Amino acid sequence: MKRFLLVAVIALMTLSASAVNRTRAPKGMLVNEKKAAMFTPGAFKSIAAKQQAMNAFYSDYQPTLSKAKYVKKASLRAEEEEELELIPAYSQWTYFYSTIMGGFIPKIMEDQVQYLVKDGKAYLAPFANLGIVVGEKNDEAENPFAQYGAEVYTFTCGVIAKYTDPETSEEIELSVEPCVIEDYTPYRSGETTFNAYYIAEDNELYIPSDVTLALFVSGGTEREIFDEYYVARMLDLMPQETYNQYISKGTFTGTSYYGAEYNMEGECLILLGGDYYCVKGADGSGNTDAWVEYEVDENDESIAVVSENQYCGTFNFYNDDTRTDTHPGIVVTVGLLQEGGELTAFNSEEDYSSSYKISDTTEETTKIENTNNTVYGDYVFVDEPYKGGMYEAMHQTIVITYEPIETGIKTVTSEKNSKFDGVTYNLAGQRVSDTQKGIVIKDGRKVVIK
């Protein structure tokens, strides 16, 4: 196999804290002049080194941090609230903070947030259900989303979890609070409340992008966050049940540029969005829980793009055979160029994105496949002494089979589900007329109307 060469030392752009305030997929990207990592591509200088890194990859990408194992839920619910069942939710495009990246990175279909709005109160568990922040309906507050039927709920910051210091055995209370962003770093703002907006028709709870939430030591004066993995912004929460109606089964294959021994194939899930597809389990990192968004071109629906730096997983690189010298890192998406079957450079002219062609097949499936010149890549940002390098690069083919997924999630309300009965959607998830010709989805099934 010819060696994989990239032709230049390039600085990858990182996501800044000044992302565009959009309900879906805000992709405001700026170069982080202070902390953008310069790297020499091809950090894994042999197949053995790459295999060593693969063995160290965490298959479960949820944070496994030094502090996290000492965090426990605080008992915050009143007795009459103990029977509340919070709604498992997705937030389709959420920003998480990373010191390694030196800023915020997007995590697609964040699923560690739960919430419930009931009887004039809102209950929010923003970080893996550590505990609940309670909000009260506030008719007096300014409501910039009133035209969408939104109601304002004001959340009061308070203790959400407890932390036992492993050295002193001291128990410390932790609270969720808003942040300010200075030099791409979140700090305590001193604010004690924040507003969220609830749209009852869709059972949607929206926390806009000007609100960044983080975990701090409660009542303390220090400005520093408790842990970088407990920082998030732009949580646009929808019940998983709502999304699951539009998730199809699919298959994927990946032809690796590292050699046939690293080729991949398997099953995946595809969310059929209005102008995007979100695909779970088809990236090269080996993390079957990672979602990646393929955004359909608004002028040409046969083309989709995967933008740079979408978060795929947590990574530990071992520098020696004894597996003691570890360096943390994260895996993100990146686009590469190829010529004659060899990778040549990062796709920097297109913001390090990779492009795809979309086509319906005679088997009544839809195929999403790399174009001839761009390649899907997983790039590893690693703390010193490593600057990062390619983890996986492959020609990717995804086939949507339009088989509904099975889910154990209970319905939110019977009224919510009944309004979708008999409704027809196109393959982009948009509602269309019952007489729409072509391949459509009706009652959760793919049919052909001639």
- For 256, the enclosing helix (H) or strand (E) is strand 247-256
The pLDDT value given to residue 262: 85
Cα–Cα distance, 268 to 248 (Å, whole number): 9
Model confidence, pTM: 0.77
CA-to-CA dists, residue 181 to 27, 178, 232, 268, 336, angstroms: 18, 10, 12, 36, 31
Single out the residue of 380, 404, 389 nearest to residue 287, CA to CA: 380
User: For 384-410, how does the pLDDT look when each residue is reduced to its tens digit (9 = 90+)?
Assistant: 666 677 888 999 999 999 999 876 433
49 CB burial (10 A radius; 0-12, 13-18, 19+): middle
What pLDDT is recorded for position 169? 85
Tokens describing residue 21: 């305030």
Backbone angles phi, psi at 167, to 5 degrees: -90, -40
42-94: pLDDT as tens digits: 333 343 444 444 444 433 333 434 455 567 765 544 444 556 889 999 999 99
Q: Which residue has the higher pLDDT, 450 or 357?
A: 357
pLDDT band at 434 (very low <50, low <70, confident <90, very high): low
What are the tokens at 349? Answer: 């002219």
Name the residue with tokens 């995590």: 107
Q: What are phi and psi of 256, to 5 degrees?
A: -80, 140
Please give the average per-residue pLDDT across 323-345, as a whole number.
84
Question: What is the reported pLDDT for 188?
Answer: 95
pLDDT in tens, 211-221: 999 999 998 78
DSSP alpha helix (H) spans, 151-250: 240-244
Range with the poorest average pLDDT among 278-287, 319-328, 417-426: 417-426
What is the tens place of the pLDDT at every residue in 107-132?
999 999 999 999 999 999 998 878 89
CA-based angle 359:428:209, to the nearest 5?
Answer: 125
Q: Sorting pLDDT into bands at 50, 70 and 90, what band is 319?
A: low
